[in-house]
């Protein structure tokens, strides 16, 4: 199994959903489908250059969704909490566990991936590492270089869940009930064009 | 918590057949989940051995690691407070809240915050502290303490939760866990957005960078650490890992052992303070440093996954509350008397069969039966220290045991110490047991055996005893070995 295949299988095992896209058009198609499936009215998103470069913001506009661009100035969390979906971009993902890893950056308000009921993350295929020790080794290097910049890192492994009532699994306790990874296997140049 | 309280709370769980069934099936599922998650690792044995060594090395050099961790946090403008006692820790946090004018603090689940009685200390300073983990929220509304290290509300049925939430909201709610969860989500969302202070625990603290790792499933830990401007982390002083490499090993084991997940939903790695936030890390000793160099040092290796509770035959029968307000199960039976003293918990190390299921389940291979025995040795030394104390404790022990059990043991001793009588009795018993056999098992035995067979059964005595085989010079047939 390739790391991409394993990532997708593991994410679906924890009730998330991974969708593969080989080019920006396919990526935008997935986003439109997800926005429509959940009848999203307001989409909060990072100002990450790749999201625009890959045509995702244009796709949201075309779908008639109201966009809430978040950061780099401090975020009104109450306003953000009114968004039904949040769109982010992952710099690292873990094949072994199906985890999406998000980093704190001035223009990457992490609550975009937490407050809305639906979280959609773009995951470049090249960002997928094999396992948790590989991820922590990599992150250790980054944090040693820039501890203040990387003040917060989240591994997100599927939808928010709890088994606190009679050990029955329920989803969307405090965080998202639905988690999508749009795994971009296409030309990194299309994405890098923005960065 | 006294021995009498232990008896009362243990009896309460043992009389609750519904709860016993929940414990049997639910904890059985957790155990199966852990075993499967371990089996999926390339080499779980090697990983556990590595984790065991990491924990042992950390505790050996704990002060150096703590100094490094603290220096990293303070060099970035974070605050570190080393609290010698539980009271000092909760007073520091309560004073901080009062000084900053905090009215509402949101908390994510933290066992050490239970240990230091933080909610009460905050309340006394006029600060409302709201537990936001679903299970903790439920038991906070009930004024109860956690039943299980990672499943605080395990003992509550959906109908009880429904009643609790209906009382809290004045609304009618369905008894569906999904509906009840949605109610808690809406209720607590408002608290997250209003709170001035966020209080969270710490699963691992990385010494080299002064980072804090939190493992959660619901997302409340993320809310608590990201929304309020004033941040407090409470951690036991033994939570340290030296570097991010060791963190990777421990994370690979923690969720698998706790819930059977490869990784919990959220692993949050904070390297405080975040911009615009004030962050205080409160490191609690509370009796831990006194264990270093003692025969109980190994208890500090624990990573609080709860796996030992899930497999413990005693925990499954008596539940979590009998162990006291904070830590339960085998780890609680070792930790509570070590931290809170023999007066509060000295009886707990005796409430164990020493079967060893706990150490088999422990991801860092803590010798829990060995630590329970260490407590018993200490207890024996302390109680036999003077003749008066010995007499007193023997009398107390006799009073606890009861006359029927004493009679049973007296009979057993009389028979077992006389070979001829023993031979005769076992031969007779094998013949006379028939009236008490049901489906090939010994059930509802005659008094005083009925004390045991009241809620358990025994295999019947074999017609040919081991001594018969032995004197005949033969081994067991295959059929007899299997039976």
CA distance B66 to B221: 23
Question: Nearest to residue A8, comparing CAs of A184, A154, A138?
Answer: A184
Q: Each residue of B412-446: pLDDT tens digit?
A: 889 989 999 998 998 888 888 888 888 888 877 77
Write down how long chain B is: 483
Please count the other Cβ atoms lying within 10 Å of the Cβ belonging to residue A108.
Answer: 20
Which has more confidence, B288 or B388? B288
In this model, does residue B454 exceed pLDDT 70? no
In this model, does residue B255 exceed pLDDT 80? yes
Interface touch B262/A97, C-beta < 8 Å: yes
CA distance B35 to B28: 11
Interface touch A136/B245, C-beta < 8 Å: yes
DSSP bridge partners of B83:
B284
Closest-CA distance, A41 to chain B, in angstroms, reads 19
The burial class, CB within 10 Å (0-12 / 13-18 / 19+), for A138 is: middle
Question: Nearest to residue B244, comparing CAs of B77, B43, B54, B37?
Answer: B54
Question: Nearest to residue B311, comparing CAs of B369, B350, B261, B241?
Answer: B369
Per-residue pLDDT, B161: 97
Per-residue pLDDT, A156: 98
Closest-CA distance, A155 to chain B, in angstroms, reads 5
Of B193, B223, B252, the CB nearest to A114: B223
Interface touch B217/A173, C-beta < 8 Å: yes
- Tokens linked to B358: 């706990």
Interface touch A151/B272, C-beta < 8 Å: yes
Per-residue pLDDT, B480: 52
In this model, does residue B468 exceed pLDDT 90? no
B140 and A CB contact within 8 Å: no
Q: Each residue of B194-214: pLDDT tens digit?
A: 999 999 999 999 999 999 999
- Tokens linked to B131: 């537990």
3-state secondary structure of A74: coil
Q: Which residues contact B189 (CB under 8 A, 6 or more apart)?
A: A81, A174
The mean predicted confidence, pLDDT, of chain B is 92
CA distance B467 to B420: 13
User: B483 falls in which pLDDT band (50, 70, 90)?
Assistant: very low
3-state secondary structure of B354: coil
Of A96, A114, A135, the CB nearest to B219: A114
Q: Each residue of B353-397: pLDDT tens digit?
A: 999 999 999 999 999 999 999 999 998 887 665 555 555 555 665
Q: Each residue of A53-67: pLDDT tens digit?
A: 999 999 999 999 999
Interface touch A164/B249, C-beta < 8 Å: no
The alpha carbon of residue A25 and the mean position of all alpha carbons in its chain are separated, in whole angstroms, by 18
């Amino acid at each position: 199994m390739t790391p991409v295949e394993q990532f997708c299988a593991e994410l679906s095992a924890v009730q998330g959903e991974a969708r593969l896209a080989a080019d920006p058009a396919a990526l935008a198609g997935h986003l439109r489908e997800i926005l429509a499936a959940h009848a999203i009215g307001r989409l909060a998103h990072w100002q990450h250059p790749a999201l625009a470069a890959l045509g995702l913001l244009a796709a949201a506009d075309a779908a008639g969704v109201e966009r809430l661009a978040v950061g780099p100035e401090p975020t009104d969390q109450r306003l953000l909490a009114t968004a039904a979906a949040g769109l982010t971009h992952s710099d690292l993902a873990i094949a072994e566990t199906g985890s999406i890893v998000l980093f704190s950056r001035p223009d990457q308000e992490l609550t975009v991936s937490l407050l809305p009921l639906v979280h959609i993350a773009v995951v470049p295929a090249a960002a997928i590492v094999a396992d948790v020790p590989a991820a922590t080794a990599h992150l250790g290097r980054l944090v040693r270089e820039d501890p203040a910049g990387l003040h917060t890192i989240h591994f997100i492994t599927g939808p928010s869940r709890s088994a606190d009532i009679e050990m029955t699994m329920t989803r969307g306790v405090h965080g998202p009930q639905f988690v999508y990874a749009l795994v971009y296997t296409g030309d990194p140049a299309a994405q890098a064009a923005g960065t | 918590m006294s021995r009498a309280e232990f008896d009362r709370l243990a009896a309460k769980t043992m009389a609750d057949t519904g709860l016993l069934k929940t414990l049997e099936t639910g904890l059985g599922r957790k155990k199966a989940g852990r075993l499967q998650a371990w089996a999926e690792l390339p080499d779980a044995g090697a990983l556990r051995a590595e984790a065991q060594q990491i924990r042992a090395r950390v505790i050996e050099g704990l002060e150096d690691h703590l100094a490094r961790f603290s220096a990293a946090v303070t060099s970035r403008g974070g605050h570190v407070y080393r609290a010698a006692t539980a009271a000092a820790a909760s007073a520091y946090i309560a004073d901080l809240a009062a000084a900053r004018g905090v009215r509402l603090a949101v908390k994510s689940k933290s066992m050490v915050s239970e240990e230091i009685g933080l909610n009460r200390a905050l309340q006394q300073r006029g600060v409302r502290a709201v537990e936001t983990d679903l299970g903790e929220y439920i038991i906070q509304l009930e004024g109860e303490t956690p039943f299980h290290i990672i499943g605080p509300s395990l003992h509550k049925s959906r109908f009880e939760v429904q009643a609790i939430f209906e009382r809290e909201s004045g609304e009618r709610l369905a008894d569906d866990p999904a509906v009840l969860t949605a109610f808690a989500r809406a209720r607590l969302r408002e608290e997250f957005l209003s709170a001035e202070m966020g209080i969270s625990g710490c699963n691992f603290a990385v010494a080299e960078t002064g980072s804090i790792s939190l493992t959660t499933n619901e997302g409340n830990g993320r809310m608590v650490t990201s929304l309020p401007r004033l941040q407090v982390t409470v951690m036991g002083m033994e939570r340290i890992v030296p570097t991010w490499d060791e963190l990777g090993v421990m994370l690979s084991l923690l969720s698998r052992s706790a819930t059977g997940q490869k990784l919990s939903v959220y692993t949050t790695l904070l390297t405080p303070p975040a911009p615009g936030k004030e962050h205080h890390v409160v490191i609690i000793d509370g009796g831990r440093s006194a264990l270093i160099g003692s025969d109980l040092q190994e208890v500090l290796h624990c990573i609080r996954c709860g796996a030992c509770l899930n497999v413990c035959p005693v925990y499954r029968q008596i539940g979590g509350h009998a162990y006291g307000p904070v830590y339960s199960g085998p780890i609680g039976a070792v930790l509570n008397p070590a931290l809170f003293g023999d007066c509060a918990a000295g009886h707990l190390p005796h409430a164990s069969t020493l079967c060893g299921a706990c150490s088999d389940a422990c991801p860092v291979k803590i010798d829990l039966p060995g630590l329970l025995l260490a407590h018993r040795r200490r207890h024996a030394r302390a109680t036999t220290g003077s003749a008066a104390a010995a007499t007193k404790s023997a009398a107390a022990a006799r009073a606890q045991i009861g006359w029927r059990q004493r009679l049973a043991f007296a009979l057993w001793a009389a028979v077992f110490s006389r070979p001829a009588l023993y031979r005769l009795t076992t031969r007779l018993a094998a013949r006379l047991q028939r009236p008490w056999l049901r489906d090939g098992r010994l059930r509802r035995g005659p008094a005083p055996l009925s004390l045991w067979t009241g809620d358990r059964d025994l295999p019947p005595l074999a017609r040919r005893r081991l001594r018969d085989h032995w004197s005949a010079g033969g081994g067991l047939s295959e059929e007899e070995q299997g039976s």
